[in-house]
Amino acid sequence: MFQRMIDDVRESTGTALRLTSLAAAAAIALFVMIAFLCAAAFVFVLQRYGPVEACLAGAVIFFLVTLIAAGCYMARKNEVKARAEQAAKEAARSTKSAAQTVLADPMLLAVGLQVVRAIGVKRLIPILAVGGLALGFMMSRGASASDDEAEAPAE
């Protein structure tokens, strides 16, 4: 059984490595193609209009490429941020529903009443106050940590 799992991991790793190699080769070929297209455009403008205009045309082309890349980056950044906010909302909803389910359990309520009877209300109030403070601190630390994690991938 373990040998089969090892073989599956080895096969999937080999497949991923081959696909990554093919993607890298395609990226290098695309880069070389773009370089030759830029060189051809430069030579064409150089022969037609002169060296200054050729340099300016090349600068404009790369400026447009930069603007497109920046637009894609900003769109992706906003998408990641929206997904993180949506995930945080869903996590908060699931936490609330889990807490509501636990508090609505009749067995838990019966146990709680027995604890109150055994300890006494006068001794239980300070314990609950300290527990509430600790829960509040934990929730505030968890919220700040999740905000930091949500912002980290977007940078």
Residue-wise DSSP of 22-69: HHHHHHHHHHHHHHHHHHHHHHHHHHHT-HHHHHHHHHHHHHHHHHHH
Residues 59 and 41 sit within 8 Å (Cβ to Cβ): no
Tens-digit pLDDT profile for residues 22-66: 889 999 999 999 889 989 999 999 999 999 999 998 898 889 988
Task: Please tell me which residue, 150 or 10, carries the higher pLDDT value.
Answer: 10
Residue 149 has pLDDT above 60, yes or no: no
Q: Do 116 and 124 contact (CB within 8 A), yes or no?
A: yes
Q: Distance (Å, rounded) from C-alpha 127 to C-alpha 129?
A: 5
pLDDT of residue 1: 66
Q: How many CB atoms lie within 10 A of CB 148?
A: 9
> Nearest 5°: CA angle at 25, between 24 and 28?
85
Report yes or no: 77 and 150 within 8 Å, Cβ to Cβ.
Answer: no
92-145 pLDDT, tens digit per residue, is 777 666 666 666 677 777 787 788 788 887 787 888 888 888 888 887 776 665
Query: Residue 155: pLDDT band by 50, 70, 90 thresholds?
Result: very low
